[in-house]
Structures are given as C-alpha cells and as structure tokens.
C-alpha cells in the first residue's frame, strides 16, 4: 500500500510537487505535531512521513508515522496535541502488559481517536507467539500508556472456558469505552451458535453486551447468531449489526441493525422489511455500514431488492430507535446540482451530531454517457452539491473530506489545476465557504523556520469513512499533512473555523471564484490518494 506516505513519494519514486500560484497565499497559523527528520520519541530513529492521522478534542491527535530506518513496514503510533508527540507503539519492541519477549510486530496504520483516547490493533511476534495468540488491541489516552484491551488466545471476559479466537474493533467514545466483537473457541462453544460475543467497556473491564445464542428483543423464537459493533456514543448507546437465526429466519431476512442502551437495544432495520423511498415493493437485502451520533441518530447504508443494478447498489437512510427509516439518498433519484443526472452509486458518508450528512456519490445521466462524482451536504429534507469532479472551474479531490460534530465541512478541490494543486476548503454551518490552506501557503515549523507548502492532504482514503477516524475535531481543529517545496513534510493542526473578522469581503470573493458556472465534459482526474 502507498498510504499517506504515498503523498511523499509515488510508486515510481518521484516526488510529487507542482505548486500553484495563489493570490491569497499567506502564513498559516498551525500547531506542529511531527516533522520529518525530527527524532521519533521511543525510538533511535527519526520521523520519515505520515500514514494516517486522526483528531479528537482540543487538537489531540493519534498518528501513525513511518521511520527513517529503510523498512517501509516499520510504522509506529504516537499521540499528542503538540510536538514532539508521545510514543505508543512501534514494531519489534516489547508490547505492554504482555510477557517479556512478546513484541509489537506490525502496528495497524489506522487508529481510532475520541476525546484524548487512541484505539489501535497490532500483530505480535516473539517468545511463545503463534497463530493462535498473535493479535492484540490497545487503548491509550493522554494520561496513560497503552492498556491491553484483548489478546487472541486469552480467556474471553465473562465467558468461562472460552478463549478469544479473533477480535474486531467497533467504536470508541470520549470516556475510553470500546465496542468490540470476539469470536470464541473452547469449552462449551458451538460454532455458528454461541461462538460470538460483542463486548462494551474499557481496557480490563469489558462486559458482554450481546452473545450468540441470546434472544433478540421483540422477536419471539429468534436469536442472535453474530453481532458486530458499529459504534458507541458518548452516552454509552451502542450500534451493531446482528445476524439472526431461529423461527421464520431465512437468508433473505437474517441481517438486522440495532441501536440503544446495552440493556435494551431496539431493531431499526431488517433485511426483508420495506425500504422507504425505493420503488414500490423494494425491501432491504443487507445492512452495509452505519454511524451513530451523539444525538442517538443512526445513518446507515443498505442494499435493497429492486436496486437499479445487479450489484445491489446501496441507498442511505436515517433512523432512531422506535422510528421508521427515512431515505436520504436512493440510486436512480435526481442528483441535486448536477443537471440531468441521477445518483448511481454511494461511495462514502458521515453524519454530524446536529444530524447533518455529507456524502460522496457517483452521478450518471440517463444514457450513462456522462459520469460525475461529487460531495453533497444536507439531510433528509434535501442535499446540496458542494463540489464535483467534473466542475469546469473547481474540481473535487476525491475521498479527502470530513464533517465534524457541529456540521462544519472540509474538503479538497482544485481550481482548474492538476490534482496535486488541490487546496482545503471549509463550509461553516451558516453556509459560508472559503479556501483554508493549500499550495503556496507557508507554515512556521518552529523557531521562525517558514516553509512553503507544495501539497496538502488530510484523512485517509478508507471507504466508507470509519467511526472515530476524524480529520476535523468538534472544535473545528483540522489535522493535516503538508509536503514542502524543500522535500520535507509534517503533520499539523490548524483551526478550520475562522474568526468573524477574518471572513469579510475576501471570503465572498473566494466563494464567487469557486462556484462553477456550467458543466464540463467528463474527464479523468487522478486521486491525490491517502489509501
């Protein structure tokens, strides 16, 4: 994989520069987190380049960063709100809370961050490690070193005689509580009956929330077979996908989506039920992904039976416990802002705590001769096109966008230049839009050392975007990666929310310049990727 490090050197080894002149370029106020060439805490090496960086509260960042030891797989994990960040994990060193000689092997590149907590997975190597016990997950926060959440091969919490065979991470909240799923082996475990347990809790205190074989509330004679956590919000409400078995359950209605308290979850959607907003007779066929916000609202994507193609193209709905799903985006329906086109495919989506939704989708005209990809913002009452790939004066840089808890939206777009010329734009809840930063701007990396941005990016191209992998914090702090004209790079935090006095007439001019006056023919734009 190329990862965020792919910003620094492409597959052929060529540095990607290509600066565009910007009349509004200036010195950007930032807080450095890590800079290439800087000593990497917890190691004898220096930082080489970032892979993925996500933000919590008050500029607190969890970052996976490469080291300059010539091994591209030696990516470690650090955290903090300033430079230098605090060391968490790196390959080939002792793993905390495990026997001496058990080391981190490969640390997963994509952490989850919430508040001042970081959640990450790692493979293990060393003394006594084999295929049955070579994976672990850790939680750390600003005031503690990494705490072991689970290790494969260890006893399963609250289930006597069972051990953890596999583990899957779900969500993380500000208090450090985690939703996660374990597949079990051992005494009393029957595969496909009771070999799955979904847990909620903190490191060292995980409690069974849903167990394979347990009754599904409100469905007589129906049990859970599997349960996968999708999220846990700050009030402790959970979201999970439940596979059902038992009376009346078939392959066409076994998939379901649940939310609510651990003690009393409610089903909000099930395969086989009518899919609102789809052509008459459309039913849900599968639950594909979902988000739970702090207002207890769920936004989820699902396949449906009369989708316009054989791939069961998903639509997007919102729901709360006790209510029917409400459609947000359905394929084959008109794509607002793109004349003559309809939605054809949902790429990714995310919701805010004030129930706004941002989504990236493909739009196609009736004879499929023109295809566009865009970013829309809104809710069940309507979506507004923010930027699209085929804009004549401004083009969306795909996959790099985010929405925070308060509905602030950031994305990357070019203004007629190549993909590497993309700048970061921001839309605040009052509807104003402005360029935030990009090529040609300067950053003080420390002690008055001003460096000029050649390329900028944020986030990581994971589709769909994952819970607690935010580039934009609830306070408007944006974590981003900059590559400079001298070849160096770094991770920085800046505010995406302007002071009132900084908007003024300049913002109005920028907005006018950004909007596209007409559609242009479809053309390919290479993704400035963070995969």
Report if residue 474 sits inside a domain.
yes
DSSP per-residue letters across 307-367: -SSTT---EEEEE-TTS--EEEE-TTSB-TTSTTEEEEEEEEEEE-TTS-EEEEEEEEETT
Report if residue 142 sits inside a domain.
no
pLDDT of residue 268: 98
Pull the structure tokens for residue 377: 């913002």
pLDDT of residue 460: 58
Strand 315-319 vs strand 477-484: parallel, antiparallel, or unpaired? unpaired
Please name the helix (run of DSSP H) or strand (run of DSSP E) that holds residue 511, with its range, or none: helix 504-514
> How many structural domains comprise the chain?
1
Please name which of 223, 318, 321, 309 lies closest in space to residue 277, comparing C-alpha atoms.
318
Range of the domain at 427: 1-84+405-531
- pTM of the predicted model, to two decimals? 0.88
Report if residue 391 sits inside a domain.
no
Q: Give 10-residue mean pLDDT values along the chain (531 residues).
A: 38 32 70 96 94 94 91 88 97 97 94 96 98 98 95 98 97 97 97 97 97 97 97 97 98 98 97 93 93 97 82 87 95 88 91 96 81 92 91 71 95 85 94 95 96 90 64 96 97 83 33 28 24 26
If you compute the radius of gyration of the chain from its CA atoms, what whole number of angstroms results?
23
Report if residue 217 sits inside a domain.
no
Beta bridge partners of 363: 343, 372
Sequence-distant (6+) residues with CB within 8 A of 173 are 114, 115, 232, 233, 234, 236
Please name which of 409, 362, 356, 364 lies closest in space to residue 380, comparing C-alpha atoms.
356
Sequence-distant (6+) residues with CB within 8 A of 393 are 415, 416, 513, 514, 515, 516, 517
Compute the distance between CA of residue 310 and CA of residue 120 in angstroms, rounded to an integer. Answer: 36
Cβ–Cβ < 8 Å for 27, 443: yes
pLDDT of residue 212: 98
Q: In residues, how long is the chain?
A: 531
Report if residue 175 sits inside a domain.
no
Please name which of 19, 15, 86 lies closest in space to residue 455, comparing C-alpha atoms.
19
Compute the distance between CA of residue 503 and CA of residue 511 in angstroms, rounded to an integer. Answer: 11
Compute the distance between CA of residue 514 and CA of residue 395 in angstroms, rounded to an integer. Answer: 9
Cβ–Cβ < 8 Å for 292, 269: no
Residue 139: alpha-carbon gap to chain centroid: 18
Report if residue 123 sits inside a domain.
no
In three-state secondary structure terms, 420 is helix
Sequence-distant (6+) residues with CB within 8 A of 324 are 276
Report if residue 471 sits inside a domain.
yes
Burial class (CB in 10 A: 0-12, 13-18, 19+), 44: exposed
Compute the distance between CA of residue 219 and CA of residue 375 in angstroms, rounded to an integer. Answer: 39
In whole angstroms, how far apart are CA 180 and each of 150, 200, 310, 516? 10, 7, 32, 44
In three-state secondary structure terms, 264 is coil
DSSP assigned state of 85: P
Pull the structure tokens for residue 156: 């399963």
∠ CA 77-143-123 to the nearest 5 degrees? Answer: 30
pLDDT of residue 48: 94
Report if residue 28 sits inside a domain.
yes
């Amino acid at each position: 994989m190329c990862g965020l490090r792919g910003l620094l050197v492409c597959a052929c080894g060529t540095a990607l520069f290509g600066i565009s002149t910007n009349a509004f370029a200036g010195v950007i106020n930032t807080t450095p987190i890590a800079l290439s060439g800087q000593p990497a805490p917890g190691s004898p090496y220096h930082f080489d380049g970032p892979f993925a960086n996500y933000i919590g509260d008050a500029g607190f960042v969890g970052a996976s960063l490469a080291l300059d030891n010539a091994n591209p797989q030696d990516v470690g994990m650090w955290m903090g709100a300033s430079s230098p960040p605090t060391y968490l994990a790196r390959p080939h060193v002792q793993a905390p809370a495990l026997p001496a000689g058990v080391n981190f092997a490969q640390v997963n590149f994509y952490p989850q961050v919430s508040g001042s907590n970081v959640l990450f997975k790692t493979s293990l190597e060393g003394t006594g490690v084999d295929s049955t016990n070579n994976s672990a997950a850790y939680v750390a926060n600003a005031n503690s070193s990494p705490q072991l959440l689970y290790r494969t091969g260890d006893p399963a919490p609250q289930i006597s005689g069972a051990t953890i065979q596999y583990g899957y991470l779900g969500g993380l909240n500000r208090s450090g509580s985690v939703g996660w799923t374990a597949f079990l082996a051992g005494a009393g475990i029957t595969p496909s009956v009771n070999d799955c347990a979904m847990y909620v809790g903190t490191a060292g205190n995980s409690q069974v929330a849903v167990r394979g074989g347990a009754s599904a509330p409100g469905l007589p004679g129906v049990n859970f077979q599997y349960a996968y956590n999708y999220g846990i919000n700050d009030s402790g409400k959970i979201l999970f996908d439940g596979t059902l078995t038992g009376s009346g359950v078939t392959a066409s209605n076994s998939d379901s989506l649940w939310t609510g308290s651990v003690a009393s979850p409610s089903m909000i959607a099930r395969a086989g039920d009518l899919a609102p907003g789809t052509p008459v007779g459309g039913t849900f066929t599968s639950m594909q992904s979902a988000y739970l916000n702090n207002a207890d609202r769920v936004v989820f994507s699902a396949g449906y039976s009369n989708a316009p193609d054989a791939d069961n193209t998903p639509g997007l709905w919102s729901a709360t416990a006790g209510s029917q799903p409400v459609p947000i985006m359905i394929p084959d329906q008109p794509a607002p802002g793109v004349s003559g086109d309809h939605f054809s495919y949902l790429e990714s989506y995310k919701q805010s705590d004030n129930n706004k939704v941002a989504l990236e989708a493909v739009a196609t005209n009736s004879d499929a001769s023109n295809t566009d990809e865009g970013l829309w913002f809104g809710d069940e009452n309507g979506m507004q096109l923010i930027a699209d790939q085929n804009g004549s004066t401004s083009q969306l840089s795909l996959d790099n966008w985010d929405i925070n808890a308060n509905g602030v939206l950031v994305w990357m777009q070019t203004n007629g230049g190549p993909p590497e010329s993309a700048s970061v734009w921001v839309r605040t809840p009052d509807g104003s839009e402005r360029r935030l930063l990009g090529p040609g701007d300067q950053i003080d990396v420390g002690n008055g050392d001003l460096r000029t941005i050649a390329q900028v990016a944020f986030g990581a191209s994971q589709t769909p975007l994952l819970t607690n992998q935010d580039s934009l914090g609830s306070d408007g702090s944006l974590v981003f990666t900059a590559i400079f004209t001298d070849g160096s790079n770094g991770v920085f935090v800046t505010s995406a929310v302007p002071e009132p006095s900084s908007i003024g007439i300049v913002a109005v001019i920028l907005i006018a310049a950004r909007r596209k006056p007409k559609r242009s023919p479809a053309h390919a734009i290479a993704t400035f990727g963070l995969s």
